[in-house]
């Protein structure tokens, strides 16, 4: 099953967005105790998912996911800082940057393993679905293919008295001389 299909690509982008947004929201709650409104969380998930859709055309390795998660963490940090009103934290310190980088790395590894599991599950389902589909298609009667075109020229009729029919043209002896 190709992971770049639109439905699977959208699902993968949504999982990426929920994971990144969830981790960042939990970390910001743990650091500042601010509970975010559902609208803020939904807007963050929608924005990250929209940015992740172009990246979902194929499986990415952990390094590419770390880069994507780090970018998501940076944008989400600003988003949640503005939503909580703690503007003094817009410029994160060394400790907060370290926590965000660690969260990005952990989220990337988690997403890479989940993506590999999803691909393995899709391959497994395809493997088991192929014989079932073969059985279903084998049970369906198929009309025999036509061997002649619909507007075929009429077939010549067999000549029963071909030897008795007169032949036209000069006699065979006249051509030899």
Max Cα-Cα span within the chain: 120
User: In this predicted model, what pLDDT tens digit does every residue of 12-32 receive, in sequence order?
Assistant: 889 999 999 999 889 888 887
pTM for this model (two decimals): 0.64
Residue 177: pLDDT above 60?
Answer: no
Residue 74: pLDDT above 60?
Answer: yes
Residue 169: pLDDT above 80?
Answer: no
Contact (CB, 8 A) for 46 and 75: no
Place of tokens 């029963």: 160
pLDDT at 43: 93
Residue 48's pLDDT band, with cuts at 50, 70 and 90, is very high
Whole-angstrom Cα Rg for the chain: 36
Residue 71: pLDDT above 60?
Answer: yes
Q: Which of 106, 115, 100, 134 is nearest to 61 (CA)?
A: 115
């Amino acid at each position: 099953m190709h992971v770049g299909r639109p439905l699977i690509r959208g699902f993968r982008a949504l999982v990426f967005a929920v994971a990144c947004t969830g981790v960042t929201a939990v970390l910001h709650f743990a650091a500042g105790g601010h509970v975010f409104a559902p609208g803020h969380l939904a807007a963050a998930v929608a924005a990250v998912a929209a940015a992740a859709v172009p990246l979902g055309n194929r499986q990415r390795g952990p390094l590419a996911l770390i880069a994507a998660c780090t970018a998501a963490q940076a944008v989400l940090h600003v988003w949640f800082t503005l939503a909580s009103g703690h503007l003094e934290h817009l410029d994160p310190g060394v400790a907060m940057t370290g926590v965000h980088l660690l969260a990005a790395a952990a989220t990337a590894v988690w997403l890479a393993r989940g993506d590999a599991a999803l691909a393995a599950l899709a391959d497994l389902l395809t493997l088991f679905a192929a014989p079932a589909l073969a059985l279903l298609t084998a049970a369906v009667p198929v009309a025999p293919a036509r061997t002649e075109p619909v507007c075929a020229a009429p077939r010549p009729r067999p000549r029963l008295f071909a030897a008795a029919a007169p032949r036209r043209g000069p006699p065979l002896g006249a051509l030899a001389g």
